[in-house]
Structure 1
């Protein structure tokens, strides 16, 4: 593959990270036919198929995984070179490259603002992406540190908890269970539980709380957090959602928190980074900031006080 171009490497890495031609095209500001053509050329250079097609879905082949690992190393080296040159030109300006999952986007800017308050020499690059994409960005060194709930279980990835992340059961204001106290979990068996798609933290929490039990509620799966909230507000069922995501709806009464035994379900936010390479000084400083009391106070201050909290579940941050 000695004739592969840097542009083709970036396109292949994006398609492999998203497992989607259309999302890679959107990410790179290209048309989907242009992305497809470049991937075809990369496969011709490789001499083996890099993607397996299953209907509208794609997956990496063994050859694809091999090429991806090398592409990630190349892109990581380029990122390091670009950052080193930028630091040289700027006379010492530091670059903080961090990411957070979508449900953390509400409080994360407050964390960043508090950290940067007395640091005028730091330039920020922040990504808000799904968990799997953040992990891929960490491994390819596009970011230095990520904030997520479920810590990855993989070699050379470290995770440190720094703040609680409660998941609360919510319903429409007119729901029959609203106002009841210490509701037994078994009473929810007749309810429709509205959930996100597999792979999300809210779905993982719902699976642990309900779907692996003997008599789980009926399930309705929707593909977006806002769609789940709207369905609950319309009276279509109940849902287990991040307290960060429903703070406004609980405050203004569009949703009500149910007082069910064993809830809220408590998980933790984690600072995640690659342990096989040193963190840049500014990223190390931000990691230490996250582990302090100020960060925990900022995160907890962005949600409502716990209601009916009976027990705490950690489970390694929902891993």
Structure 2
């Protein structure tokens, strides 16, 4: 593929990411025929079909998926080089894409605001998703860094802890258990519990705790997402287990109470995750250093 150009790789990556030549044309400020021509030239260079254009939406072939993996790596490395040139002039420019798990959305904007006060020319993008989705996006060069918990052992990422992450049992302000001290897990057995949706790491954590404590609840209510859980707790629907970040405002204003249960809160670590197989750009390194230095203060929680 001797005639391969960065322009053609960017066009290909746009088409692959959107599963649409017309959408790729919009993103690249090109006409759709021009995008189709670029893809045909790539296919001629490769000697293989890259897209199944009969499918709706269009789908990558096996060859297309392999080329996409390399294209994203090449384009990411070009960005690293461009950032390095900017940093030699004492400037930090470009865009950084940070992915966070949902509880981190409650402090990530403050973190990025403080970062941009130090580096005002850097553009930032923030995405929120479950951990497994973010790890896949990190592997595919769709995000630059991720804030979450420790990754599974098989993940090819570096993980650096920068702050503590408390998980608490919470109830509405007027709940009968809200003012009691020294509660045991057995005291909760008759309480309706609000669970996150299947696949949620918070739900998995709670289920493990219940198994260890030998607690079987009589009423389990499943709700989607931390926002719904928070509102349901305030409405008195039941008690729940959640990241303290999710309900900081409500705890501070006395709308939600942290229950005083033996062995609680449970503390995890917030980690900054990034790929192991390529160096960070100067801008990414600047964010890494900022998070490690300032992240603990910016992610601090009130527990009651």
TM-score, structure 2 as length reference: 0.73
Aligned partners of 1:73 and 1:140 also within 8 Å: no
Task: Determine which structure has more spread, i.e. the larger CA radius of gyration.
Answer: 2
* Cross-structure match for 2:256: 255
Q: Work out whether 1:101 is the aligned partner of 2:101.
A: yes
Aligned partners of 1:131 and 1:200 also within 8 Å: no
Secondary structure of 2:272 counterpart: strand
Distance 1:145 1:190 in 2: 42
Pick from 61, 67, 74: which aligns with 1:77? 74
Structure 1 69/185 Cα, relative in aligned 2: closer, same or farther at 3 Å? farther
Q: Deviations over 1:221-269 (max 9, x none)?
A: 1112222122222222110111111011122222111110111111111
**Is the deviation greater in 157-166 or in 220-229?**
220-229
Aligned partners of 2:13 and 2:71 also within 8 Å: no
Q: Residue 274 of structure 1: CA displacement?
A: 0.7
Secondary structure of 2:68 counterpart: helix
Q: Residue 70 of structure 1: CA displacement?
A: 4.7
Q: Work out whether 1:10 is the aligned partner of 2:7.
A: no
* Cross-structure match for 2:166: 166
* Cross-structure match for 1:138: 138
Which residues of 2 match residues 1-319 of structure 1 at below 5 A?
6=13, 8-11=15-18, 39-40=55-56, 42=58, 46=61, 68=65, 70-81=67-78, 93-95=92-94, 96-211=96-211, 213-217=213-217, 218-292=219-293, 294-300=294-300, 303-304=301-302, 306=303
Aligned partners of 2:100 and 2:128 also within 8 Å: yes
Distance 2:296 2:13 in 1: 41
Structure 1 185/124 Cα, relative in aligned 2: closer, same or farther at 3 Å? same
Secondary structure of 1:142 counterpart: coil
Aligned partners of 1:93 and 1:123 also within 8 Å: no
Q: How many matched pairs?
A: 260
Distance 2:233 2:199 in 1: 21
Structure 2 spans left out of the alignment, 5+ residues: 1-10, 21-26, 28-52
Structure 1 spans left out of the alignment, 5+ residues: 14-27, 29-36, 47-62, 308-319
Aligned partners of 2:148 and 2:273 also within 8 Å: yes
**Is the deviation greater in 214-223 or in 181-190?**
214-223
Q: Deviations over 1:125-152 (max 9, x none)?
A: 3323332222122111122211112424
Structure 1 119/229 Cα, relative in aligned 2: closer, same or farther at 3 Å? closer
Q: Residue 80 of structure 1: CA displacement?
A: 4.5
Secondary structure of 1:216 counterpart: coil
Q: Deviations over 1:12-70 (max 9, x none)?
A: 59xxxxxxxxxxxxxx9xxxxxxxx8754645x74xxxxxxxxxxxxxxxx7xx96565
Distance 2:86 2:288 in 1: 26
* Cross-structure match for 2:40: none
Secondary structure of 2:245 counterpart: coil
